[in-house]
Amino acid sequence: MQCEMCGETVRGAPKLVRVEGAELQVCSKCEKFGTAVQQARRTDLVRPAAPRAAGGRPSPAAAPSQYRKRDLFDYSDGDVVDDYDKRIKAARMEKGLSQKDLAMQMKEKEHLIRKIENHELMPEDDVRKKLEKVLGIRLIDAPETEAEKKVPGSLAPTLGDLTVIRKARK
């Protein structure tokens, strides 16, 4: 292992010191430049082996349940279409707007619109939503849900529409 401060090979166990807020593993020569940090003993480094099922795989009953962390793509509505630049430019031209006018309506910079239309930059979700709203286009390649398939202007019945309230007679 190398000293994180001077780069020399560490002989023996490295020392953990704090130098200006950073914790470094250093050699014995460089430990005087920082303050020693107590290392907590980690007991979870070695796990007992999981019981194996036939075929050499861990049995599913013995394996602890693991949850996958959600990443950025789990929060997105769908994939942006490949020809987003052409759709945006065509819709902008159809409305008779310049890139500057579109940028002003969206409260974004003209440079951003130019880069998006030149396919140099994919619009982020907030910019994409503004573009869809201002230009009246769709940039997401996602299957339509039942709510989107409904005829605009028709309202879905509520629970109050379905129930009949009877007044008590006096």
Q: Which residue has the higher pLDDT, 94 or 73?
A: 94
Say if residue 170's pLDDT is above 80.
no
Indicate the length of the chain as a whole number: 170
What pLDDT, on the 0 to 100 scale, is given for residue 59? 53
Q: Which residue has the higher pLDDT, 136 or 169?
A: 136
Give CA separation, 143 vs 77, 86, 149, in Å.
10, 21, 10
78-82, 87-91, 100-104: segment of lowest average pLDDT: 78-82
Give CA separation, 34 vs 22, 25, 39, in Å.
9, 11, 15
Q: List own/partner pairs for 158-161 with CB under 8 A and 24 or more apart.
A: none
Q: Which residue has the higher pLDDT, 14 or 170?
A: 14
Q: Which residue has the higher pLDDT, 76 or 92?
A: 92
8-12, 108-112, 138-142: segment of lowest average pLDDT: 138-142
Burial of 97 (0-12, 13-18, 19+ CB in 10 A): middle
What pLDDT, on the 0 to 100 scale, is given for residue 142? 64
CATH number of 79-142: 1.10.260.40
Q: Supply φ then ψ for residue 56, to 5 degrees.
A: 85, 0
Q: What's the mean per-residue pLDDT of the chain?
A: 77
What pLDDT, on the 0 to 100 scale, is given for residue 55? 55
> Can you tell me which residue has the tokens 């629970």?
159
pTM for the full predicted model: 0.43
The residue extents of the domains of the chain are: 1-38, 79-142
> Alpha-carbon distance 1 to 168, whole Å?
86
**Residues forming beta bridges with residue 25, ordered by sequence position:** 16
Say if residue 63's pLDDT is above 60.
no
Q: Which residue has the higher pLDDT, 161 or 114?
A: 114
